[in-house]
Amino acid sequence: SWLGSFTSRFLLASPAGEGGRAMPQVQIHIINAMDLPNMDVLDYTDAYVRVMMGGQEVMRTRTINNDLNPSWDHRGSIEWDGINDLVFSVWDSDTFTADDWIGKYTLAKGEIRAGAVCGVFPLTAGKKTGKATAKPPRISIKVALPTPEGCCASGCSVM
């Protein structure tokens, strides 16, 4: 039935969230960033990505040192609450001071529900970032809900 198909696609066998509802697994592939501004004085940006859902960090990449075009190739899955957007924030790691926020891309919950999102997206610049670069910084990501067959949504192979 249609309802059975919907349930198997979006409410996979995952632990129940608040209110006893199962939470869908979302596959995430953080590929790379391009044209990041240089946030450091003596060397180049040491970039990492934090994925936030409802104000909570749900995923984080490793830090790539001294690179304005870092490639993380970070893959994983999260339990998405079905309510909140996913926010991909790019940061510059600093040793002796607070990390600098470079920018973010917000993936709207409606786009997540559509099944698959793939592409290169512009980052909304942080305060320190401003218009310091000739090209706007961008992030390349793939996000997908698994299909009932167990692999990712068609047209967007994430995992």
pLDDT of residue 16: 43
The fold of 25-144 is Immunoglobulin-like (2.60.40)
Nearest to 82 by CA among 6, 2, 159, 4: 6
The domain segmentation of the chain, as residue ranges, is: 25-144
Q: What is the pLDDT of residue 143?
A: 97
pLDDT score, position 41: 78
pLDDT of residue 158: 44
Q: How much is the pLDDT for 128?
A: 62
Residue-level pLDDT at 39: 85
What are the residue ranges in the chain where pLDDT is below 70?
Answer: 1-22, 126-134, 147-159
In whole angstroms, what is the distance from residue 150 CA to residue 78 CA? Answer: 15
Q: Which two tokens stand for residue 153?
A: 């949504």
Helix (H, G, I), strand (E, B) or coil at 3: helix
What tens digit of pLDDT does each residue of 28-66 get? Answer: 999 999 999 998 778 899 999 999 999 999 999 999 999
Q: What is the pLDDT of residue 129?
A: 58
pLDDT of residue 96: 87
